């Protein structure tokens, strides 16, 4: 038997953006534990904005398990928060009720700023560094500093050891701003991995005295870029059948559901989606081929393949909840009949 360090991780009840929380318990197993071997656990909901009435106990229900590369015999346990009966999802538990579909694939591009001493990493104590231009995908100390690359590389390795589908890294447009991409099949799978990747980034940067700033426009109304979390998506129908007619109906449905999407695409998005700096206007839905100023960018490959493949919704922001973003995209897609569902109904 081996003593494993189990880190139970969950989302708290703060709004509009939940915080990640975690605590450790030690349990013995013959080998690396599987999900069904992990017991329910509890925590004090009165300290996390999750207490209901006079009873403050909330239940943690394990839903995904990942190896923890930073700890000997470490296990990362993604949990849903349940009511004391252990079966009713807590009101803050969005994951329990989202739409899911294994054939729906999501690729999230998480942008964020490293922050140190209350400002982006690499910003001088007063004023600003040289204007944007050389930082995006940049190299060299004056562009990326001394520690950012070390952090993103260590984060990449932690994700890969955990089995998270980390797909890539790039330095972003603002100084101190970076991006990583997570891909997953199914909305729960993709979003679980994004939340766990966020957790690993925040835990890793503790030792550097650096925080992660996820706000979508931390530098306000300046010439410094904000942060998004573009959501690339495809269903099996979009990949295998697609077609121009279906695509146009789909875009029509997205246009009509615009406000439903914006409602779950992250707080303060009006600060970012101004229609300037390669962003769309927040209340006007648009789409375009290779258009990075549109709400939805249609890749060249999509058109060249007969309107088949994936689309990029550029509106979700860096603080958005990937569970709710993926679910809203699936909801809008489900409102558009495919040829198959139309003939089945006839
Ligand atoms: P860009 O910065 O040009 O918008 P990235 O390379 O950062 O593009 O991100 C592209 C994302 O698209 C990746 O996360 C990738 O996983 C995702 N992706 C690629 N193919 C598909 C697909 N068929 N369905 C869903 N997402 C996809
Ligand atoms: Mn990208
Ligand atoms: Mn980007
Ligand atoms: Mn993108």
Judge whether 75 and 5 are in contact, CB under 8 Å.
yes
Chain centroid to CA 5 = 26
CA of 229 to the centre of ligand 2 (A): 9
Instruction: Look at the domain 2-91 and name its fold.
Output: Ubiquitin-like (UB roll) (3.10.20)
CA of 145 to the centre of ligand 4 (A): 24
Instruction: Look at the domain 105-341 and name its fold.
Output: Creatine Kinase; Chain A, domain 2 (3.30.590)
Domain ranges of the chain: 2-91, 105-341
**Which ligand approaches the C-alpha of residue 171 most closely?**
3
Angle formed by the axes of helices 187-206 and 322-334, to 10°? Answer: 160
Q: How far is 44 from 227, CA to CA, in rounded Å?
A: 33
Judge whether 148 and 137 are in contact, CB under 8 Å.
no
* pLDDT one-digit tens code per residue, 128-180: 999 999 999 999 999 999 999 999 999 999 999 999 999 999 999 999 999 99
Mutate to test the pocket of ligand 1, among 107, 112, 152 (most ligand atoms within 8 A of CB): 107
CA of 309 to the centre of ligand 3 (A): 20
- What residue's CA is closest to ligand 1, atom 1? 109
Q: What is the full per-residue pLDDT of the chain (346 aa) written as tens digits?
A: 999 999 999 999 999 999 999 999 999 999 999 999 999 999 999 999 998 667 789 999 999 999 999 999 999 999 999 999 999 999 999 999 999 999 999 999 999 999 999 999 999 999 999 999 999 999 999 999 999 999 999 999 999 999 999 999 999 999 999 999 999 999 999 999 999 999 999 999 999 999 999 999 999 999 999 999 999 999 999 999 999 999 999 999 999 999 999 999 999 999 999 988 778 999 999 999 999 999 999 999 999 999 999 999 999 999 999 999 999 999 999 999 987 666 665 5
Peptide bond into 146 cis (omega under 30): no
> Do 2-91 and 105-341 come out as alike in CATH topology?
no
92 lines ligand 1 (CB under 6 A): no
Q: What is the DSSP letter of 47?
A: G
């Amino acid at each position: 038997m081996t003593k494993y360090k189990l880190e139970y991780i969950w989302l708290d009840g703060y709004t509009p953006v939940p915080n990640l929380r975690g605590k450790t318990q030690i349990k013995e197993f013959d080998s690396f534990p599987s999900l069904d071997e992990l017991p329910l656990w509890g925590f004090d909901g009165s300290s996390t904005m999750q207490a209901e009435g006079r009873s403050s106990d909330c239940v943690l229900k394990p839903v995904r398990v990942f190896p923890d590369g930073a700890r000997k015999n470490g296990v990362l346990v993604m949990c849903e928060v349940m009511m004391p009966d252990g079966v009713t999802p807590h009101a803050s538990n969005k994951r329990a009720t989202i739409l899911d579909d294994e054939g729906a694939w999501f690729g999230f591009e998480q942008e964020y700023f490293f922050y140190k001493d209350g400002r982006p990493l690499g910003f001088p104590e007063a004023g600003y560094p040289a204007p944007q231009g050389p930082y995006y995908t940049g190299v060299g100390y004056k562009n990326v500093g001394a520690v950012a690359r070390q952090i993103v590389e260590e984060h990449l390795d932690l994700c890969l050891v955990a089995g998270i589908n980390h797909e890539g890294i790039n330095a972003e447009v603002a100084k101190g701003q970076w991006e990583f991409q997570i891909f997953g099949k199914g909305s729960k799978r993709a979003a679980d991995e994004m939340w766990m990747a966020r957790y690993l980034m925040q835990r890793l940067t503790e030792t550097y005295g650096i925080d992660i700033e996820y706000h979508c426009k931390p530098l306000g109304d300046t010439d410094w870029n904000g942060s998004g979390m573009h959501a690339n998506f495809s269903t099996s129908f979009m990949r295998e059948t697609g077609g121009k007619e279906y695509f146009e109906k789909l875009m029509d449905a997205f246009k009509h559901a615009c406000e439903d999407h914006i409602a779950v695409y992250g707080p303060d998005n009006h600060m970012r989606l101004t229609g300037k700096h390669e962003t769309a206007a927040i209340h006007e839905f648009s789409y375009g081929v290779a258009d990075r100023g549109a709400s939805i960018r249609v890749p060249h490959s999509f058109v060249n393949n007969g309107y088949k493949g994936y689309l990029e919704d550029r509106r979700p922001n860096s603080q958005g909840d990937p569970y709710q973003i993926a679910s809203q995209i699936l909801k809008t897609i489900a409102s558009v009949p495919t040829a198959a569902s139309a003939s089945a109904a006839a």
